[in-house]
Each structure stands twice: as structure tokens, then as C-alpha cells.
Amino acid sequence: MYIVRCADGTLYSGYARDVREREKVHNSGRGAHYTACRRPVMVVHSECFDSKSEALQREHQLKRMTRAKKEALIAAAMVTEGVS
């Protein structure tokens, strides 16, 4: 499961087996319709799961979150990873 930040500052979430490859697909314009006109996109958060079902459940949770909560999740992950 991943979140990308689009060039216009919006956030898009999805799931993929290979997040970096999916980022490339989004940036080529062949990804989701939403991201096609908002390139480039950059992965700002990702989470790994053992099954597609778990990833889809988490994606559904994220899509219901407010933007502020998503931004807090991204910021917390960046601190944990040591990125500033």
C-alpha cells in the first residue's frame, strides 16, 4: 500500500506489489487517471502486507482518512525513518 504526493500537492493512495515500479508507471502517465494529469508523483509513504486483502483493507482505511491525518501519518513515518 502506498501514498504518492502529486505535483499539485494532492495525495493519492493505492496498492502494488512493487511500489517503486508503480511510481514509474504513474509518472509515465499510464497509472491511475487521477495521477495522469498531476505528474510527477513521488511516493511519500508505503506499508507492506502479507496479502493483497490486507493491503486493500488498509488502502480503504486511508481513503477514509482526512488529509490532515494522512499528512500526520506521512510526517510520523518520515521521523521514524530519519528523513527530515
- pLDDT for 51 equals 96
Half-sphere exposure of 32 (CA within 13 A, CB side): 16
Which domains does the chain show, CATH number per domain? Answer: 2-81 (3.40.1440.10)
| Rounded distance between C-alpha atoms, residue 84 and residue 61, angstroms | 26
DSSP, res 50: S
Q: Which residue has the higher pLDDT, 77 or 51?
A: 51
pLDDT more than 90, % of the chain: 89
Contact 70/10 with Cβ under 8 angstroms?
no
- Per-residue pLDDT of 13-54, as tens digits, reads 999 999 999 999 999 999 899 999 999 999 999 999 999 999
Mean pLDDT of the residues in the chain: 94
- pLDDT for 79 equals 79
